[in-house]
């Protein structure tokens, strides 16, 4: 039964554009196999089914575009003659890949958070291995025309996160995406899955062509995924839909560099909608490629992230992956009382000063000065010479 | 009566270190003149006064350090012989300055937000003119060892804010402070007060000496203020206390550049405590001089600010000073429905495509394709040639 469902979903992924609300509602209510029969016109649908679809779409706030099954069928009809799921599955097998569906063990459970927008299936190029759960996955996304700053930061973050055992999710594009995949491949210490590229078009073709070698390496060591079948062109619409998959696979989406208007912000908004953490890397206010990150920090719920530790912290807010403690070099005088700080300020650096003189300079009683000098002495901040006092640790 | 109060406050500002809670409570309860008599030992204080002081300090969460008036008097006693308020006032007059007290018309009303921590008086070097209210004042603060990035951003922000009629408040130090004052002086369009330097030491001396010319210019066109009397050294304690005045004078405190540990963060915390807005300028994650700003963005309630418009917006959240609308170059396709976006993606750039072919490529019914082509045509995004359709605006 799973295999016939797999074949049905393979066909449906060609029939429906990603996130076709009516199609996804039909699958949820009728199951994939009957959904395919109904969508392709081989099986009639009763009024009850249509009412159920309408109800489900309303529940998911998708009811506004719903104009009935007949209209949806007219939309799907032109593609029915092109359906060839067995051919598509064979193509994937030849490429060393497979198709996974929600019923599979290997299906990433975190995609269920997409609700009705969960993809029908995933076309997967790469060796069969366990895909990481959300809390081990971090999306790094950003501009295609990355600056040297963005490239360097992406490389540092991806390498360091991969070293910590995180899988880096990105979109396989030029710029930030490519740097993220490449550094993750380099940083992966063991046999765990270093990086996943989620494509907007079919995984039979490595797109863009300039990233062909990189994406081949991602497929060999990681995974290349898409919800659209082999041969599908990466249209703008599919890029926007693909972004929801990147956001849903990861527990944290980090925008490293993005212009004021950028597809990476779309991924960040998907992550926010899913209740996932969003990080934004700050940069120069003079760099147009950081304007989108700063926009997220101002307008969105994005957290300012500057290193891998801060990102890992977002991935497990429970504290499992606390960032290394920043070497803050706490100055010893930080713990002083106000009076002792005033006294310390009053102590000369080179010559010594009498208690009497210190009372006037510091504006403290003689008792307070004597007690304070004792405390500062214990801390190694003051020392006495021939009845006078000076600061410690300075030439005298 | 005001003049005798002025003289008393001049003396008290030498007797008490800034924010001496017991001293400030004494002034609030007994008035400045009797407070001076009591503090200097010329007048005895009853048990009732001491109880009132204790109550007031408790109300202001300052009761913990309170050990009674006798101990406080011992702290003040060593400075009593040095009191010479008439000499201090004459010094200020000779320098072309004055002392203002809360009873004066010229007193900045926003300092009342400090409550018990409101300074006793302000020593003011510069011409007599109205000091700006909080909503016309913006504090720009940051590292002494500013980078070229921090210097450039500070200059841009201060110049542009001065041009908009804001007064720039800073601390007269090297680095960010100096750039802020300098650019404000340059950017001031009219006769309004361009910039105020709030000093940690006495205003008789321009400190640090490398900023002498700059601070002289600030005094000539703006104002140089301090709560400590002439001749006071700028101790570390006084720097920390001075920061509360910068934060209280301005409606917004912006940290342009700051290390992980920095006095500028202290000013930001004062501003937060006062309920004032805090802005932080983002920078490179590789710059130690931006680490403090990023820390504020992560930990504090700081808002990411990248230009003068965003800062002006914080100064008047009611919308009076809305930032210029960012030239977002909204693409015409942003308003398209999903179906039309899919159709637009399916349209060839160079050759034309038939409606029938478009139905298959786009996965839309023929009716939808025809209606969509009509809409795209009206928007100038699609055009027909000999029965076929292509995208508009591209060579064909």
Lowest mean pLDDT among B37-41, B130-134, B188-192, B289-293: B188-192
Which of the listed residues A66, A92, A120 is the one where a domain comes to its end? A120
Cβ neighbours of A294 in B, within 8 Å: 282, 304, 306
- How many angstroms away from the CA of A337 is the closest CA of chain B? 10
By Cβ distance, the residue of A284, A345, A365 closest to B77 is A365
Domain hosting residue A216, numbered range: 123-315
Cα gap B114→B241, rounded to integer Å: 12
Q: Do B341 and A237 touch (CB under 8 A)?
A: yes
Q: What is the pLDDT along chain A (396 residues), one digit of tens a residue?
A: 689 999 999 999 999 999 999 999 999 999 999 999 999 999 998 899 999 999 999 998 888 878 899 999 999 999 999 999 999 999 999 999 999 999 999 999 999 999 999 999 999 999 999 999 999 999 999 999 999 999 999 999 999 999 999 999 999 999 999 999 999 999 986 678 999 999 999 999 999 999 999 999 999 999 999 999 999 999 989 999 999 999 999 999 999 999 998 889 999 999 999 999 999 999 999 999 999 999 999 986 899 999 999 999 999 765 444 444 343 334 555 567 777 888 888 888 888 888 888 888 887 888 888 888 888 887 788 888 878 888 886 433
Q: Do B294 and A285 touch (CB under 8 A)?
A: no
Shared domain for B10 and B69, answered yes or no, is: yes
Shared domain for A158 and A300, answered yes or no, is: yes
Which of the listed residues B52, B83, B114 is the one where a domain comes to its end? B83
Q: Which of residues 335-354 of A touch B (CB under 8 A)?
A: 337-338, 341-342, 344-346
Shared domain for A304 and A361, answered yes or no, is: no
Q: Which residue of A has its CA nearest to B331?
A: A261
Q: How far is CA A176 from the centre of its chain?
A: 13
Q: Do B363 and A74 touch (CB under 8 A)?
A: no
User: Looking at residue B93, what is its pLDDT?
Assistant: 97
Residue A139 lies in a domain: yes
Q: Do B366 and A15 touch (CB under 8 A)?
A: no
The conformation of residue B120, written as its DSSP 8-state character, comes to S
Q: Do A342 and B237 touch (CB under 8 A)?
A: yes
Q: What stretches of chain A show up as alpha helix (H) in DSSP?
A: 2-15, 21-30, 32-39, 47-59, 69-76, 85-94, 148-163, 176-187, 212-221, 236-249, 263-273, 291-299, 308-315, 338-346, 355-362, 366-378
Shared domain for B149 and B238, answered yes or no, is: yes
User: Looking at residue B335, what is its pLDDT?
Assistant: 60
- How many angstroms away from the CA of A295 is the closest CA of chain B? 8
Cα gap A298→B122, rounded to integer Å: 36
A306 interface with B at CB cutoff 8 Å: yes
Shared domain for B10 and B78, answered yes or no, is: yes
Q: Do B74 and A365 touch (CB under 8 A)?
A: yes
Q: How many other CB atoms sit within 10 Å of the CB of residue B94? A: 10
User: Looking at residue A334, what is its pLDDT?
Assistant: 56
Shared domain for B137 and B59, answered yes or no, is: no
Residue A36 lies in a domain: yes
Residue B37 lies in a domain: yes
Mean pLDDT along residues B228-250? 95
User: Looking at residue B393, what is its pLDDT?
Assistant: 65
Residue A266 lies in a domain: yes
Shared domain for A26 and A81, answered yes or no, is: yes
Residue A322 lies in a domain: no
List the CATH number of the domain containing A128: 3.40.50.450
By Cβ distance, the residue of B149, B283, B297 closest to A297 is B297
Q: Which of residues 373-392 of B touch A (CB under 8 A)?
A: none
Residue A7 φ/ψ region, left for φ over 0, alpha for ψ in the -120 to 50 degree band, beta for the rest: alpha
> Coil, helix or strand for A277?
strand
Q: Could you give the number of structural domains in chain B?
A: 3
- How many angstroms away from the CA of B295 is the closest CA of chain A? 8
Which residues, at least 6 apart from B204, have a Cβ–Cβ distance to it below 8 Å? Answer: B91, B92, B95, B125, B230, B231
Q: Do B345 and A237 touch (CB under 8 A)?
A: yes
Shared domain for B133 and B73, answered yes or no, is: no
With tokens 């130690």, the residue in question is B288
User: Looking at residue A394, what is its pLDDT?
Assistant: 46
**In whole angstroms, how large is the CA radius of gyration of chain A?**
30
Residue B200 lies in a domain: yes
Residue B357 lies in a domain: yes
Mean pLDDT along residues B131-151? 96
Cα gap B307→B291, rounded to integer Å: 19
Residue by residue, DSSP assigns A162-180 as HHTTPEEEE---TTHHHHH
Q: Do B365 and A290 touch (CB under 8 A)?
A: no
Residue A387 lies in a domain: yes
User: Looking at residue A362, what is its pLDDT?
Assistant: 82
Measuring CA to CA, how many Å separate A56 from each of A20, A26, A141, B162, B325? 13, 9, 33, 57, 40
pLDDT band, residue B186 (cuts 50/70/90): very high
Shared domain for A133 and A62, answered yes or no, is: no
For residue B123, give the nearest of B223, B55, B21, B16 by alpha carbon: B223
Cβ neighbours of B304 in A, within 8 Å: 282, 294, 297-298, 304
Cβ neighbours of A78 in B, within 8 Å: 356, 359-360, 363-366
List the CATH number of the domain containing B363: 1.10.10.10
User: Looking at residue A11, what is its pLDDT?
Assistant: 98
Shared domain for B238 and B205, answered yes or no, is: yes
Q: Which of residues 97-136 of A touch B (CB under 8 A)?
A: none
For residue B277, give the nearest of B330, B317, B243, B244 by alpha carbon: B317
Shared domain for B157 and B305, answered yes or no, is: yes
Q: Which of residues 255-284 of B touch A (CB under 8 A)?
A: 260-261, 281-284
Q: Do B282 and A303 touch (CB under 8 A)?
A: no
Handedness of CA A351, A352, A354, A357 (dihedral sign): positive
Shared domain for A287 and A245, answered yes or no, is: yes
Which of the listed residues B83, B106, B138 is the one where a domain comes to its end? B83
């Amino acid at each position: 039964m799973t295999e016939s469902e797999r074949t049905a979903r393979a066909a449906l992924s060609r029939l429906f554009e990603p996130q076709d609300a009516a199609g996804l509602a039909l699958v949820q209510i009728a199951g994939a196999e009957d959904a395919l029969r109904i969508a392709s016109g081989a099986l009639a649908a009763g009024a009850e089914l249509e009412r159920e679809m309408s109800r489900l779409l309303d529940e998911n706030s998708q009811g506004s575009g719903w104009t009935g099954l007949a209209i949806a069928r007219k939309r799907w009809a032109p593609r029915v003659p092109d359906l060839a799921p067995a051919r598509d599955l064979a193509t994937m097998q030849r490429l060393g890949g497979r198709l996974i569906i929600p019923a599979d063990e290997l299906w990433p459970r975190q995609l269920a958070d997409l609700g009705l927008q969960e993809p029908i299936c995933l076309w997967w190029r790469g060796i069969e291995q366990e895909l990481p759960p959300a809390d081990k996955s971090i999306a790094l996304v950003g501009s295609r025309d990355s600056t040297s700053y963005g490239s360097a930061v992406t490389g540092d973050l991806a390498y360091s996160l991969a070293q910590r055992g995180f899988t880096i999710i990105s979109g396989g594009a030029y710029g930030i995406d490519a740097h993220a995949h490449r550094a993750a491949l380099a940083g992966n210490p063991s046999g765990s899955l270093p990086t996943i590229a989620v494509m907007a078009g079919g995984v039979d073709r490595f797109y863009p062509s300039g990233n062909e070698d990189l994406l081949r390496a991602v497929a060999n060591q990681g995974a290349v995924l898409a919800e659209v079948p082999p041969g599908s062109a990466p249209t703008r619409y599919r890029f926007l839909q693909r972004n929801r998959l990147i956001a849903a696979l990861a527990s944290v989406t980090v925008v490293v560099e993005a212009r004021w208007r950028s597809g990476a912000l779309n991924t960040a908004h998907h992550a926010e909608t899913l209740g996932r953490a969003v990080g934004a890397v700050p940069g120069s206010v003079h760099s147009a490629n950081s304007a989108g990150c700063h926009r997220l920090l101002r307008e969105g719920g994005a957290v300012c992230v500057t290193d891998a530790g801060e990102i890992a912290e977002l991935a497990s807010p429970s504290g499992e992956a606390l960032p290394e403690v920043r070497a803050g070099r706490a100055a010893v005088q930080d713990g002083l009382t106000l009076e002792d700080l005033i006294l310390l300020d009053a102590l000369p650096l080179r010559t010594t000063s009498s208690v009497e003189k210190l009372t006037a300079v510091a504006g403290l009683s003689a008792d307070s000065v004597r007690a304070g000098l004792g405390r500062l002495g214990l801390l190694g901040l003051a020392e006495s010479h021939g009845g006078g006092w000076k600061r410690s640790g300075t030439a005298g």
